[in-house]
């Protein structure tokens, strides 16, 4: 997480899944204004939902006293977002591979897999309570 990013919006939401769709709608409006394709927007919305719900449920344990802090920027060539929860963090390397035969019927790991699939870059801080994701426009994963 060494690259400097110019985030133009910095907000905090409650640890309530209801706030996720409002944020996704705001981001989608900005993506459309920057001419991201429907396919790119679909993938970004899905990755956002996974990251935000993970922060709310797993990071903040649905604690209404805790917030999820989001900073993002949308430009003509890329979308960048940083999501930080107030929880203890986790090690993404410890999350089981959801495509391994022994994990096919377990729900864990699918969100991370989707985030990595739809976004161009996905990085976590050392503590594991911040995820930084980017989507490069027009064909870059």
CB 101 within 8 A of CB 26: no
For residues 63 and 5, give the distance between their C-alpha atoms in angstroms, rounded to a whole number: 29
83-94 as b/e, with b when 16 or more CB fall inside 10 Å? Answer: bbbbbebbeeee
Helix (H, G, I), strand (E, B) or coil at 134: strand
What structural domains and CATH numbers belong to the chain?
9-136 (3.30.565.10)
pLDDT in tens, 68-122: 999 999 999 999 999 999 999 987 877 656 555 665 566 665 688 899 999 999 9
pLDDT in tens, 10-29: 999 999 988 999 999 999 99
Q: What is the value of pTM for the model shown?
A: 0.88
């Amino acid at each position: 997480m060494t690259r400097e990013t110019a985030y133009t919006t910095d907000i905090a939401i409650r640890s309530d899944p209801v706030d996720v769709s409002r944020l996704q709608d705001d981001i989608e409006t900005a993506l459309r204004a920057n001419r991201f394709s429907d396919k790119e927007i679909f993938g970004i919305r899905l990755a956002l939902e996974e990251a935000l719900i993970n922060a709310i449920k797993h990071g903040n344990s649905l604690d209404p006293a805790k917030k999820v802090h989001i900073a993002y920027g949308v430009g003509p060539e890329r979308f960048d977002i940083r999501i930080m929860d107030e929880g203890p963090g986790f090690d993404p390397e410890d999350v089981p591979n959801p495509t391994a035969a022994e994990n096919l019927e377990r729900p864990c790991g699918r969100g991370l897999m989707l985030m990595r699939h739809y976004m161009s870059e996905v990085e976590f801080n050392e503590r594991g309570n911040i995820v930084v994701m980017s989507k490069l426009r027009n064909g870059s994963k």
